[in-house]
A and B are shown apart, each in its own frame.
Chain A
Amino acid sequence: MDSLATPLEVVARPQLDLELRGIRKRYGDFTAVDDVSLQVAKGQFVCLLGPSGCGKTTTLRCVAGLEEPDDGGILIGGKEVTKDPPWQRDIAMMFQDFALFPHMTVARQVGFGLEMLKKPKAEIARRVQEVLKAFEISPLADRKPGSLSGGQRQRVALARAMITEPRILLLDEPIGALDYSLRETVMLELKMLQQRTGISFIWVTHDQNEAFSLGDLVVVMNHAKIEQQGTAEEILQRPATAFVAGFVQGNNVFHGRITGTSPDALQVETSAGRFYLPRPVRCTPMLGDAVSFSVRAERITDSLSDRHANRLSARCTAVEYFGSVRRHIFERPDGQVLKYDQFGAYAARIAPGQTVQLGWLVEETVLHTGAVA
């Protein structure tokens, strides 16, 4: 086994709120988390993004101490906590369905964390009042969770988690249970709360809009592994793997083989034709390698010039209009599907059924260079 034996010889960095060092978690034959490493700076907003079953929630539960990783190390605030139980970690957690205690009033519930810290009664009462006020739920103080609406429950859960001022707040799909209309407001509020308090947020979601609009750092996971981590812009503009490119909206993904190299470009043969890509700096692709690459839907154009070296013809099958964007869906006989986004309120130029020449610039083409940590 390539056991990592908790590589703690590396000096712990106290400026990090959280550090994961190659954590692994298996359930029988199923690997839920595989070699996940992550560094979260002080006060960072991190989103773990991925399809269901990708291991993002298990990773979060390992940080909380609700699961113990089979391998690897977890450091919170520079202190190794891998084997520590949840109640000894400087974290708080917000659960997907909020996990409010059904037998406790809102006030009791919110004060629970302080009670556990053995704070004096008067101080608890005062802090609870403050926090209830801050979260605008003072009128609910004597109610029990059973009589609260979804939005109210969400606030109570948040207040309950935040009152102890943890170093890290873990949020498992925190707005997934809310009405769609509420989500945007709540997202904004949470982002502002995070910036104001400077508490690190680790936010698990399968919704890329949430992840990209909230996260300072977005971590895309698939099949128990991290596929790519970076800012929203890095992930959207330079997807590292075919999975990431396909998972985030608006990418056209191609698979093919390298048939030619030059000092500054690669030539890739696909079923949809021959395309040219900028030669990557960090790796050296070899002739004959199977590769994938992508181009964003908004980088494609139907008004071609000499500079558009990458071209193909395709038949339009559908046009969707979203107000600011007109998205065209194309299909080719070889099965390749293509999305082409046109911005602005131009009149539609392409109608379904039409076959059109499309193209894009070489430098708009992104080679997937594999999982980049």
Chain B
Amino acid sequence: MSTIRVRSPASYWLAVPAAVWMLGVVVVPIVLLVWVSFWGGRTFSPASPLTFDNYARFFANQTYIKLAGTTVLHTMTLMAVTGVLGYCIAYFLVMKVKSPAWRLALFLAFIIPFWTSTLIRAIAWVPFLGVNGVINQLLMSIGATRSPIEAFLYSHTGITMAQVSLYTMMAAGPVVYMLSSIAPQLREAAMTLKATPFTVFRRITFPLTLPGVVIGQVLVFLNVMSDFATVATIGGNKHALLSNLVLLFYESSQIRAASVVAVLLMICMLVGVVIALRVVDVRRLGAER
């Protein structure tokens, strides 16, 4: 039993280390970023006048607007694919794998690749997707295609394939948790009330896992929006999304333009998360159980 009460001085003091850390690595950099994005004038210094010029320049460029559109569309595609795939995997793990040992083994098999960094996993896709890559060799050896398919590597399809593999478990994880917290009696009760298995899924299982689905979608959304590494390695120089634009501007020392894109990217993410929280009140998760 904790003897520290909510809102007591002790509870505030305990929050200080975390608060200082968050202030230093999250709040201050974001404030700086937003500040820099408004810097006008010719010199890059805190003395610059604050203007909307940088934003105006971004929105005046059709290429950037299109890029933003592509980014959103690409992210939505990934959310849809990983959502469906992740739910299927979660459902299989929780409902169909009866033995706890097997469930753990399969879950680990899905999870262990996540012990390496996103960058490494993205690069690992290159030998698979290339013209002489594993997938093409396989397709040619079984006679599915005569000449190698070039569309895999350095293409939008390739990026999508790699990211689906990278982020499906993010969509599946929360669903696994929500699914396994549903008491089996609930589904049984529905069945004794004459609900067929499909109806049980539609009326009981799915609504009860919806918070998990939404959390998974938020995770995928945030990660895909900010993933420049996969796009850069798999897409080569031919493809870019908003996050790559940040890198591009940064590398060419256009710090103000980079911060504009970064701020816009953050706004997109915030809007996405707010919408998600509208659908499901994540804070009340499990409160009804």
* Chain A residue at minimal CB-CB distance from B187: A99
B149 CB within 8 Å of chain A: no
Interface pair B191/A87, CB less than 8 Å apart: yes
**Chain A residues, CB < 8 A from B186:** 99, 101-102
Interface pair A92/B192, CB less than 8 Å apart: yes
Interface pair B189/A103, CB less than 8 Å apart: no
Q: How far is the CA of A117 from the CA of B194 in the complex (A)?
A: 7
**Chain B residues, CB < 8 A from A151:** none
**Chain B residues, CB < 8 A from A97:** 183, 185
Interface pair B208/A66, CB less than 8 Å apart: no
Q: What's the nearest-Cβ distance from chain A to residue B190, in Å?
A: 7
A232 CB within 8 Å of chain B: no
Q: What's the nearest-Cβ distance from chain B to residue A80, in Å?
A: 19
B287 CB within 8 Å of chain A: yes
B195 CB within 8 Å of chain A: yes
**Chain B residues, CB < 8 A from A91:** 192
**Chain A residues, CB < 8 A from B289:** 102, 146
Interface pair B288/A103, CB less than 8 Å apart: yes
Interface pair A93/B204, CB less than 8 Å apart: no
B188 CB within 8 Å of chain A: yes
* Chain B residue at minimal CB-CB distance from A112: B193
Number of chain A interface residues as a range: 20 to 34
Q: What's the nearest-Cβ distance from chain A to residue B281, in Å?
A: 12
Number of chain B interface residues as a range: 20 to 34
**Chain B residues, CB < 8 A from A74:** none
Q: How far is the CA of A103 from the CA of B190 in the complex (A)?
A: 13
**Assuming the A-B contacts A66-B188, A92-B192, A117-B194, are A101 and B204 also in contact, with contact meaning beta carbons closer than 8 angstroms in the complex?**
yes
Q: What's the nearest-Cβ distance from chain A to residue B107, in Å?
A: 24
A359 CB within 8 Å of chain B: no
**Assuming the A-B contacts A102-B288, A103-B208, A144-B288, are A113 and B185 also in contact, with contact meaning beta carbons closer than 8 angstroms in the complex?**
no
B77 CB within 8 Å of chain A: no
**Chain A residues, CB < 8 A from B199:** 116
Interface pair A99/B287, CB less than 8 Å apart: no
Interface pair A99/B185, CB less than 8 Å apart: yes
Q: Which of A65, A99, A117, A144 contacts B189 (CB 8 A)?
A: A99
A24 CB within 8 Å of chain B: no
Q: How far is the CA of A85 from the CA of B195 in the complex (A)?
A: 10
CB-CB contacts below 8 Å: B193-214 with A: 193-196, 199, 203-204, 207-208
CB-CB contacts below 8 Å: A48-64 with B: 64
Q: Which of B185, B196, B203, B287 contacts A87 (CB 8 A)?
A: B196
* Chain A residue at minimal CB-CB distance from B208: A103
**Chain B residues, CB < 8 A from A99:** 183, 185-186, 188-189
**Assuming the A-B contacts A87-B196, A99-B183, A101-B186, are A146 and B288 also in contact, with contact meaning beta carbons closer than 8 angstroms in the complex?**
yes
A95 CB within 8 Å of chain B: yes
* Chain A residue at minimal CB-CB distance from B204: A101
Q: What's the nearest-Cβ distance from chain A to residue B122, in Å?
A: 39
Q: What's the nearest-Cβ distance from chain A to residue B187, in Å?
A: 9
**Chain B residues, CB < 8 A from A170:** 192
**Chain A residues, CB < 8 A from B288:** 102-103, 144-146
**Chain B residues, CB < 8 A from A101:** 186, 189-190, 204
* Chain B residue at minimal CB-CB distance from A86: B191
Q: How far is the CA of A87 from the CA of B190 in the complex (A)?
A: 9
Q: What's the nearest-Cβ distance from chain A to residue B36, in Å?
A: 46
Contact string against B for A residues 88-114, beta-carbon threshold 8 Å, 1 for contact and 0 otherwise: 010111011101111100000000110
Contact string against B for A residues 75-88, beta-carbon threshold 8 Å, 1 for contact and 0 otherwise: 00000000001110
A160 CB within 8 Å of chain B: yes
A164 CB within 8 Å of chain B: yes
CB-CB contacts below 8 Å: B213-270 with A: none
* Chain B residue at minimal CB-CB distance from A108: B203
**Chain B residues, CB < 8 A from A93:** 188-189, 192
Q: How far is the CA of A97 from the CA of B189 in the complex (A)?
A: 11
**Assuming the A-B contacts A101-B204, A103-B207, A116-B199, are A86 and B188 also in contact, with contact meaning beta carbons closer than 8 angstroms in the complex?**
yes
Q: What's the nearest-Cβ distance from chain B to residue A242, in Å?
A: 35
Q: Which of A85, A89, A102, A117 contacts B208 (CB 8 A)?
A: A102
Q: How far is the CA of A216 from the CA of B54 in the complex (A)?
A: 85
Interface pair A160/B207, CB less than 8 Å apart: no
Q: What's the nearest-Cβ distance from chain A to residue B212, in Å?
A: 13
**Chain B residues, CB < 8 A from A116:** 193-195, 199
Interface pair B188/A87, CB less than 8 Å apart: no
**Assuming the A-B contacts A101-B186, A144-B288, A145-B288, are A92 and B193 also in contact, with contact meaning beta carbons closer than 8 angstroms in the complex?**
yes
Add 9 more A-B contacts to A99-B183, A101-B186, A117-B194 (CB < 8 A). Answer: A64-B192, A66-B188, A66-B192, A87-B195, A87-B196, A102-B289, A146-B288, A161-B192, A161-B193
Interface residues of B (CB under 8 A from A): 183, 185-186, 188-196, 199, 203-204, 207-208, 287-289
Interface residues of A (CB under 8 A from B): 64-66, 85-87, 89, 91-93, 95-97, 99-103, 112-113, 116-117, 144-146, 160-161, 164, 170
- A–B complex contacts, Cβ < 8 Å, 23 sampled: A64-B192, A65-B191, A66-B188, A66-B191, A86-B192, A87-B194, A87-B196, A89-B192, A97-B183, A97-B185, A99-B186, A100-B189, A101-B186, A101-B189, A101-B204, A102-B208, A103-B288, A112-B190, A112-B195, A113-B194, A117-B194, A146-B287, A146-B289
